[in-house]
Amino acid sequence: MSPIRNQPRITFDVLNLRSLRAVLVLTILGLGLSGCGYNTIPTLEEQAKAKWADVQNQYQRRADLIPNLVATVQGYAKQEKDVLTSVVEARAKATSVRIDASQLTDPDKLKQFQDAQGQLSGALGRLLAVSENYPDLKSNQNFLALQSQLEGTENRIAVARRDYIEASRAFNTALKTFPTLLWAKTFFSSEKPLAEFTASDAAQAPPQVKF
């Protein structure tokens, strides 16, 4: 009778041993995946997307300053109608071209965004150059405040662009280099490289806002 009584305990011990082994295997597998770069690709992708969101936020901040800037300049230089109109039109186009995270792999989309923002930068540059001809405008406190805000925003845009470029390159590199290349070819085979800014620094130079 004693062997029969011991059988449940033996079965229970075997089940416990199997469960323990399964936990250990999963733990080791998890550590192995983490250590060999499995999480690197999605982590870098999310970081790049976050940096891109900041790029768009900073460009939007600039766009929000423009109506007040145009109105202030118009109060002193109504005869500069063509310049004022070009700024308004460039702003409308720039704010209409937006790229969400799912479109960051399309270089053409990013180029459209770049071109629209570049046109707005050019129009702003011409507007600020015109202001040189109006001393009263240059000394206007509202204009000076807008100039200072615009200068700060242009600096933030430059930083946000740089951060996105670095983040996208880190992600793109992970898709092509060992050991993350192994995961890119298997579990993340649908991932595509993120588009990067391609215009030269000169083409993307911010408008001069210091007087």
pLDDT tens-digit map of 107-164: 999 999 999 999 999 999 999 999 999 999 999 999 999 999 999 999 999 999 999 9
Main-chain phi, psi angles of 97, to 5 degrees: -100, 105
**Residue boundaries of the structural domains of the chain:** 1-35, 39-185
Main-chain phi, psi angles of 116, to 5 degrees: -65, -45
The residue to which tokens 């507007």 are assigned:
127
In this predicted structure, what is the pLDDT of residue 202? 44
Q: How many CA atoms lie within 13 A of 122 on its CB side?
A: 12
Per CATH, which fold does 39-185 belong to? de novo design (two linked rop proteins) (1.20.1440)
Token pair, residue 24, equals 């250990």
Q: For residue 203, what pLDDT band results from cuts at 50, 70 and 90?
A: very low
Token pair, residue 92, equals 């409308």
Token pair, residue 88, equals 């308004």
CA-nearest of 125, 110, 96 to 205 is 125
Average pLDDT of span 83-94: 97
In contact, 131 and 150? CB cutoff 8 Å: no
In this predicted structure, what is the pLDDT of residue 198? 74
pLDDT tens-digit map of 160-202: 999 999 999 999 999 999 888 888 888 899 999 999 987 544 4
